[in-house]
Amino acid sequence: MAVEQVVIDLDEHDHESAERSAITHRNVANRRKVLLQLVAAFVIGVVLGGIGVAELRDSRAQHDRSSVVALVALPESGYSGGSNSRGIVRLNGQLTLINTGPAPITIRAIQAERPGVQVRDMGQARLIRPGGTGQILVDLQLECSTAFQPEPLSVRFSVETEDKRLREARYPVALVGSAWQEDALRMCEPRLDS
């Protein structure tokens, strides 16, 4: 019996298994690439979202800051004439306003009323910077017998804030002991030369 010789050709390669290996290797590389792209997209999204939230927070803080109205009002002598008719004194006075808020405000109107007292602005608007002061002329009508009660007069202000919105603010103004009281009482005293 003749022995068959088995010859193994070492130059021949298994082309099919090499192709499968290359495809598998490419698929793994593609999966890694896609995974890295997804992770990068997620990280970019988180960063942009964080920046967006910070911007929104800053915008809200700016809006809150620009809508605050905080002021102090003090009656000042601005006596520039007046009249006394049957115990009711009409005179012009000044109201000094101090802006204690964080943003500029524009005073558009001033009004106060209670029995014996009426206060109205004279139609002038006044811009007051933060920490600044401004004077506004007002028309006063005071009844000599009832105007000067111990409780403060609640003065209403129509104020335009930095965000261009009109807001109402109130501030209690003490009339007793004020320059307005001094000016009015001089006019309320009965005249001896009549």
The full set of domain ranges for the chain reads 17-66, 71-188
Q: How many CB atoms lie within 10 A of CB 100?
A: 13
End-to-end CA separation in angstroms for the chain? 165
Cβ contact 165:105 at 8 Å: no
Dist CA 75 CA 94 (whole Å): 6
Written as six digits, the tokens of 87 are: 């115990």
Which of the residue ranges 119-133, 151-165, 174-188 would you say has the lowest mean pLDDT? Answer: 174-188
| Higher-scoring residue by pLDDT: 89, 80 | 89
Instruction: Provide the pLDDT confidence category of residue 194 given band limits of 50, 70 and 90.
Output: very low
> Residue 192 above 50 pLDDT?
no
Mean confidence (pLDDT) of the chain: 80
Would you state the pLDDT for residue 33?
Answer: 80
pLDDT tens digits, one per residue of 104-138: 999 999 999 999 999 999 988 999 999 999 999 99
Say if residue 185 is exposed, middle or buried (CB neighbours under 10 Å; 0-12, 13-18, 19+). middle
Q: How many CB atoms lie within 10 A of CB 3?
A: 5
Q: Please determine, looking at this structure, whether the domain spanning 71-188 carries the CATH number 2.50.20.
A: no
